[in-house]
Structure 1
């Protein structure tokens, strides 16, 4: 299998100024065996819910120090964290309320399980659909974000100053890690992926590395022979 060059990932200075201790870890994978949710991914999701409950010890997710840090970061760029929750908090709340996590597809299930088990935001992008490099910036406000409204394709724009991930074609994820766009999301047919795990203080870097290692291990188990590279926190 010929290795593709790694995707470039950059964080703008004004985002660094907003959250000086922000760190992301990337996992790149090629030759994945995607597909619909199955018993293997269901086991991972159910185990993640159990691990989440043990980690929280009866506390609501927003009282966990890492989630509290994300709420503060959201407030710093003008988002209301009680309305637009970071992805880890949103998944954790759903898991506790429903007693289970949704089944989406094999690849999404795997990274959702890691996100909930470690209480860390994790996103997955179809690397074949990414155009150019990925950048974390504060939006101007005219960048296109492809989404769906009422089941129909739609284009939105972020608020000026909103923290977003984007590539050369537009926004891939709004409000840092709140909502992913449809253009680059992972599907049952995806075979090449970029996963981003994001942390703020006080989450230790070694905990972020552990989450990335677990994601890489689970991807290897589900896709024997896949080429998986874990890039150290940046």
Structure 2
């Protein structure tokens, strides 16, 4: 099976459970799977993107606090809806925005690119290594028994989500807790990643066009990170009611 077909089949098998859409019918996710990445350190292009993101964030935050930014506020409401405390567990967009004043992290060109695009488009954006995946990604409301591979105090440990918590998972357990709060160790990106999955999370007031533009820019940036990069993309949204 060629790489492009395998990536698309993975995305076609991905799911967002009905219980999640019942919680937030306005939720949409764009999943992007990519193969053929050539790992590398931060470069001039990723640095320019990060600097643009920091400047843009500064302009937004000059007008008001981070928690009042429209998409940050929407995610705070979503967290409250399944029992999380947004003051303690911040969605990934808010966490990045709070770091822009002192500078976004410079990790490697792959991580730098998706962090910058998250800030520039004001969309939570997660990146994971497909080599660590077992089966296709699913967004569910947890039973509370699913394993989550993480670290506490520098030591590897296994935690479990709270019952009803919204989590991304695969056949082996949770890959990201509280929708887009904390990613697990098993599927985290690293300096040698060549196959990756990216998840762009959107709630109202983010429009379809805005979400599509963020996904398109990410795809463009990913395609420059290798001579034979293959990219597949899928939008998942709530089923539309028939008239």
TM-score by shorter chain over 0.5? yes
Is 2:192 the counterpart of 1:189? yes
Is 2:148 the counterpart of 1:145? yes
2:89 to 84, 88, 106: 84
What corresponds to 2:19 in structure 1? 14
Note the C-alpha offset of 1:233.
4.8
Note the C-alpha offset of 1:151.
1.4
Is 2:170 the counterpart of 1:176? no
Q: Which runs of 4+ in 1 moved over 4 A?
A: none
Note the C-alpha offset of 1:56.
4.5
2:42 to 37, 41, 45: 37
Note the C-alpha offset of 1:223.
2.4
- Contact kept, 8 Å, 1:121 with 1:198, in 2: the verdict is yes
2:67 to 59, 62, 72: 62
Gaps of 5+ in 1: none
What is the distance in 1 between the residues matched to 2:36 and 2:17? 31
The DSSP-based 3-state class of the residue aligned with 2:98 is helix
TM value normalised by structure 1: 0.94
Gaps of 5+ in 2: 238-243
What is the distance in 1 between the residues matched to 2:98 and 2:44? 23
- Contact kept, 8 Å, 1:52 with 1:118, in 2: the verdict is no
- Contact kept, 8 Å, 1:213 with 1:230, in 2: the verdict is no
- Contact kept, 8 Å, 1:106 with 1:188, in 2: the verdict is no
TM value normalised by structure 2: 0.90
